[in-house]
Amino acid sequence: MAGASDKVRFFQEQSVPELQEFARKKIFTKGEIASIARKRSNFEHILNARGSKPQDYAQYAEYEMNLESLRRKRVRRFGVKISNHTGQRRISSILDRATKKFPGDIGLWMQYIALAENSGSNKKVSRLLTDVLRLHPTKPELWIYAATKRGTDIVEARSYMQRGLRLCANSEELWIEYARLEMIHAVKIAGRRRVLGLDVERAAEKSRQNSVDDDEDLITLPAITAEDIMPAQRASDGMEQEALERLSTSPALSGAIPRAIFDAAMKHFKASNELCERFFDVVAEFCEVPCQESILSHIMDTLRTIAPESPGTLIRWIEQPLIGIDVTSPEFPGLFGRSLDRIKKSFETLTPISSAQQTSRPISVLGQQVIAWMQKYQDEDLDADVRKVIRITIRKVESISGRL
């Protein structure tokens, strides 16, 4: 017990200069300083006694974070100068002790990494990610977290994802998030090209093609920040433009990387149609990427090969022509007609199956999905004729679903 008391006294003595500065600069009152010292003493006794738990460290760190936040507010209000690193060092020390004593507690590691991120210490974040991944290499959520947190460096992010897949190849979520990471990267590249005017001719050509009979959508400016488009301290505009022109034919922008990820996942999971549907949904979120249509077509070809009568396949086949198309665009009515034609073909495909199996479940499921999809457009600013077609189609689908 004497050893525990010595440890408590050691940690308490370390905070004495800080508390003296608080009193000298009147950031806290004498009563508040006494309360802080007492609270820290209580926490240290709990931590250094037998039977301490991870939540004890977490609560101590949370208390110090709240105290640091209050200290910063008062420093700004009183206009005094004081060290801004003492509080951060104390919190970091608590979490460092916690992760050494309970290396298996993921929550403590995440709290420690978040602290390092908030303090802007990238080197420390990298070190902590390395440490936690070395201890827990089979947890896919950690590899995903590491890759997404290093997303500004696509090379490092890919390295995390690929190392994670070598150790957690059976994690569907890891494959999905790898594809999402590459799509986000493609969005940023496309956005930079658009700002530099490198896609003007391509957009004009697409507009001419759409006016004839093509379902390719125009490239719209991604919802990214100015810093994403033109990062600070970048090389000259000429070098930037030259680099982005080369990127236009790179696998990152052509969609080759997401397709390769998808193909590898299908091979590993033996063509799982549920996973295939998830890939389709992820890619469908990125309408700003010029290669989206080709990737979706590639995924849809696979879906229609491995599960052609699945309601999940058919509803995505129906929705595909309108993905990324604005309801006010002149292309919408024609592409909507294409979706209506696919609705008819889908029910014709399922009717013989349902009759043979004496069950209407596939048609019922598809009918519900089609109705839910079409109802989303009822709140949009649509032409009156299109609204009428939607109402008629919904009634027909309800009739087919209820009859079988």
pLDDT tens for each residue of 334-371: 999 999 999 999 998 887 655 545 456 889 999 999 99
**What long-range pairs does 100-106 form, CB within 8 A, spacing at least 24?**
101/52, 101/57, 102/54, 102/57, 103/135, 104/135, 104/136, 105/54, 106/132, 106/136, 106/139, 106/142
Q: Say what the pLDDT of residue 6 is.
A: 82
pLDDT of residue 352: 61
Task: Identify the CA nearest to 44 among candidates 23, 88, 13, 67.
Answer: 13
Q: What is the pLDDT of residue 199?
A: 59
Place of tokens 């998808």: 262
CA atoms within 13 A on the CB side of 134: 7
The CA-atom distances, in angstroms, between 114 and each of 109, 306, 313 are 9, 43, 40
pLDDT at 138 over 90: yes
- Residue-level pLDDT at 195: 78
pLDDT of residue 248: 54
At 158-215, the pLDDT tens digits run 999 999 999 999 999 999 999 999 999 999 888 887 777 665 444 444 444 444 444 4
What backbone phi and psi angles, to 5 degrees, belong to 213? -170, 70
With 80 as the cut, is the pLDDT of residue 25 above it? yes
What is the pLDDT at residue 304?
95
pLDDT for residue 209: 47
Q: Which of 152-161, 172-181, 377-386 has the lowest mean pLDDT?
A: 377-386
Structural domain boundaries of the chain? 1-102, 308-404
pLDDT, residue 2, reads: 53
Q: Can you spell out the DSSP letters for 211-238?
A: HHS--PPPPPPPS--HHHHS-TT---HH
The beta-carbon contacts of 29-38 under 8 Å, at least 24 apart in sequence, are 36/67, 37/12
Distance of CA 11 to the CA centre of its chain: 40
Q: What is the mean pLDDT of residues 232-256?
A: 59
Give the long-range contacts of residues 258-264, CB within 8 A, separation 24 or more: 258/179, 258/182, 258/183, 258/186, 258/283, 258/291, 258/295, 259/295, 259/298, 261/175, 261/178, 261/179, 261/182, 262/179, 262/295, 262/298, 262/299, 262/302, 264/175
**What pLDDT score does 353 carry?**
55
Tell me the average pLDDT of the chain: 84
pLDDT at position 240 over 70: no
pLDDT computed for residue 235 by the predictor: 44
Cβ–Cβ under 8 Å, residues 194 and 221: yes
Rounded CA-CA distance 178/151 in Å is 11
Q: What is the pLDDT of residue 360?
A: 61
Q: What is the pLDDT of residue 288?
A: 85
Judged against a pLDDT cut of 60, whether residue 217 lies above it is answered with: no
How large a percentage of the chain has pLDDT more than 90? 56
Query: How do residues 256-315 score in pLDDT, each as one tens digit?
Result: 999 999 999 999 999 899 999 999 999 999 998 889 999 999 999 999 999 999 999 999
The pLDDT score that the predictor gives to residue 132 is 96
Check pLDDT > 70 for residue 225. no
**Confidence (pTM):** 0.79
Which ranges constitute the DSSP H helices of 79-171? 86-101, 106-118, 122-135, 140-149, 154-167
pLDDT given for residue 99 in this prediction? 96
